[in-house]
Amino acid sequence: MTTFDDVVAFHGHTCPGLALGYRVGEYVIRNFSPRAKDEELVAIVENDSCAVDAIQVLTGCTFGKGNLIFIDYGKQVYTFLRKPDGEGIRISIKWESPPETPEEADAWRKYQNGDSSEEVLRIVHHRKTKKLKAIFEASTDELFDIKEVRMEVPRVARLFPSLRCQVCGEKVMETKARVKGGRIVCIPCAEEGKL
């Protein structure tokens, strides 16, 4: 079983978002589907926060494999679909962090404004630890609303032949190529000023 430390090692730091993602991923692999080796499990994530890193590590639904689909709704909702039988679960985070004390609120405001004095850091760190602890101690019911769903896996075709951009000479997937001035070019070359 992937531990929270494994996830922290991947993500780079520990944070409440990562912990929530860990709880989501843990729930999924314990109750819904084993970790995906290939694409038998698909995750549809409605945000691109820290939580998604934990979900990728635990469930094996990853950006590179194409079984992690990001829909930018800005919601803490994660849907998992099992390809073999078409069953799905939709996990919506309903957990609320413990209320901030006035002291914590004040320290956080100072921290956001660039104050990294020892006192401010101590309070901010303590608040984070408290949140992490609360997330790991909460029951599934306190954390999530879980619904069974049935839906088609959104089709995201990803592999296409490559063409060569006639401006920069780099390879570009056929579906992403543009025509500009009668030449086949990549998007950055078509739209100068883009990355």
Query: Which one, 23 or 90, has the nearer CB to Zn ion?
Result: 23
Task: Report d(CA 168, CA 29) in Å as an integer.
Answer: 44
- In angstroms, give the least distance from the CB of 171 to Zn ion: 9
CB half-sphere exposure, 75, CA atoms < 13 A: 11
Query: Which one, 29 or 172, has the nearer CB to Zn ion?
Result: 172
Task: Report d(CA 71, CA 16) in Å as an integer.
Answer: 22
Residue 128 in contact with residue 8, Cβ under 8 Å?
no
Work out whether 43 is an interface residue with Zn ion (CB under 5 A): no
Strands 41-45 and 68-70, sheet pairing: parallel
Segment contacting Zn ion by CB under 5 A, of 13-21, 56-64, 110-118, 148-156: 13-21
Residue 106 in contact with residue 79, Cβ under 8 Å?
no
Q: What are phi and psi of 149, to 5 degrees?
A: -135, 160
Query: Which one, 18 or 43, has the nearer CB to Zn ion?
Result: 18
Segment contacting Zn ion by CB under 5 A, of 65-73, 106-114, 148-156, 161-169: 161-169
Work out whether 135 is an interface residue with Zn ion (CB under 5 A): no
Reported for 136-140, long-range contacts at CB under 8 A and 24+ positions apart, including other chains, are 136/4, 136/19, 136/23, 138/23, 138/95, 140/23, 140/27
Query: Which one, 57 or 165, has the nearer CB to Zn ion?
Result: 165
Work out whether 184 is an interface residue with Zn ion (CB under 5 A): no
Interface mask (CB under 5 A) for Zn ion, residues 44-83, using x and -? ------x---------------------------------
Segment contacting Zn ion by CB under 5 A, of 22-30, 106-114, 116-124, 168-176: 168-176
Side chain identity at 144, as an amino acid letter?
A: F
Contact with Zn ion (CB under 5 A) among 15, 41, 120, 135 = 15
Binding site for Zn ion (CB under 5 A): 15, 18, 50, 165, 167-168, 186, 189
